[in-house]
Amino acid sequence: MKTGFGYSMVGVVAALLASSGMAASHTVSSLGALMEFASRSGNEITMAPGTYSAKDYLTPEMLAAVGKGVDRGNGSRPPVPVLVFSGNDNVFNLDGVVLEVDTSIYDHLPTFGYHRFLFVSGNGNRIKGLTMRYVGPQQGTNGNALSLWGDHNTLEGVTLFMHGSSPYGYGDLLGKGKNPGMAPLGKQSGLMIGGDHCTLERCKVISRAFGHCFYIQGARNTLVQDCYAEGITRATSDMLRDTTGMAADFEFRSVYENRDGRYLITPGYRKSLTEDGFRTYSKGGPRNQTTGKTTLINCTAINTRAGFEIVGPADGEKTELIGCTALGTERGYLLINGNIVTRRCRGNTVHGPLLYLWRGSNADVELEWTGEGSDYTVHALATISGSNHRVKLTRWAAEGVAPRLPILLGYGMPMHAEMATPILPEEATNITLINHVGMPVVRSEKALP
């Protein structure tokens, strides 16, 4: 219906609703219809439960258009989005909705940039209940499943089942990130936050791929609450029994120097096959700014490389971890550059140390050590370097016999945090250590009063 001024009545009603703060409600039952609303603003969209195939929706023509508008001069790895949510102030009710992503799609995507499959570039959106499930060949794009690129966005109850990376089955032993690597690397990460004032609530990343579960780059004032990250682990001794696969092809070499000076996979350890559960970087995101305050409450990491690898903010604020848990990780808490507070957090040491507190100043760390001994090689309970830190280590009540693991004061983390490499002395000054676990403290010559 047209008004006398050439505007449709539907458009007038939508404008009035938006101006009054009321969102127009819509129901959709196809991925195409959902993506139409993803570019609009001020709507509440409810999608019919069911499984929707991204491969069926992304025609060859649509895949060919991916990356066409990307500024290839914007750094070496500009974001290359596939499904874009560019609208503002929308609510997406996606309970019971499964978006299935077949990794064979990657063969038709651009070879440059950093692929971000579901890309929320708009502001003020709320996405509730979505599940993304990856299927198909074991190959990755060196990108992620979901990025919050805009500001003031919220995810509630979103679950990612990650699959598809290469090489897979060796953790980072064959290379990662900027390391040269021994084979072409195709990572596949989960959920990234780059926008300011974003919130994650009750989200999960179940990873069977090499990549981070949750990670934050250049975002300010991020809240991550009641979220869960899970990987799986594999013994290095098991890797050394392979008769086929990349490790065997490379004669079990590794990019890391082990404790006897060789670049070989070392038996006796256990590696996560994914990257970190929860990770913050020093900077990045859409503005390439330093990462600001992050708050993690009641979050859990199981069998990931680091449970929580957190870089403290450089703007004078404090990042806080409250009620968090790290179990079965290669290192529970890798806390970097100070300005970090932990309270009511715990972790075990079945695959690696509870804590690396590395460099920086003014961290205030309280951790509970849980669990019993390990069948794998673990060299320390904690290492501490930097200045003006306070560290309180306690033993969780009603636990079994604790293994004898030293607290290394005046030591850094091993190179790349790989446990098979030596842990070297590093300066530590004015450290307050409250040792309630009864473990010996080993001080290096660089541990100063």
Distances (CA, A) of 150 to 85, 196, 197, 247, 384: 10, 7, 9, 40, 36
Lowest mean pLDDT among 7-11, 88-92, 334-338: 7-11
Pairing mode, strands 222-225 and 294-297: parallel
Distance CA 196, CA 424 (A): 37
* Rg (the chain; Cα; Å): 23
Average pLDDT (200-205) is 98
Averaged confidence pLDDT in the chain = 93
pLDDT at residue 7, as a whole number: 36
Residues 129, 84: contact at Cβ < 8 Å? no
pLDDT at residue 400, as a whole number: 67
CATH architecture of residue range(s) 25-235+273-329: 3 Solenoid (2.160)
Distance CA 273, CA 356 (A): 20
Percent of the chain with pLDDT over 70: 93
Percent of the chain with pLDDT over 90: 85
pLDDT for 142-172, tens place per residue? Answer: 999 999 999 999 999 999 999 999 999 999 9
Could you tell me the pLDDT band of residue 14, with boundaries at 50, 70 and 90? Answer: very low
Closest CA to 363 of 417, 326, 311: 311
pLDDT at residue 241, as a whole number: 98
Residue 177 has pLDDT above 50, yes or no: yes
pLDDT for 244-282, tens place per residue? Answer: 999 999 999 999 999 999 999 999 999 999 999 999 999
Residues 183, 175: contact at Cβ < 8 Å? yes
The string of DSSP letters for 222-271 reads EEEES-EEE--EEEHHHHTT-SSSHHHHTTTB-SS--TTS--B--TT-EE
Lowest mean pLDDT among 18-22, 69-73, 222-226, 273-277: 18-22
Residue extents of the structural domains in the chain: 25-235+273-329
Residues 328, 303: contact at Cβ < 8 Å? yes
Residues 311, 291: contact at Cβ < 8 Å? yes
Average pLDDT (93-110) is 95
pLDDT for 304-338, tens place per residue? Answer: 999 999 999 988 899 999 999 999 999 999 999 99
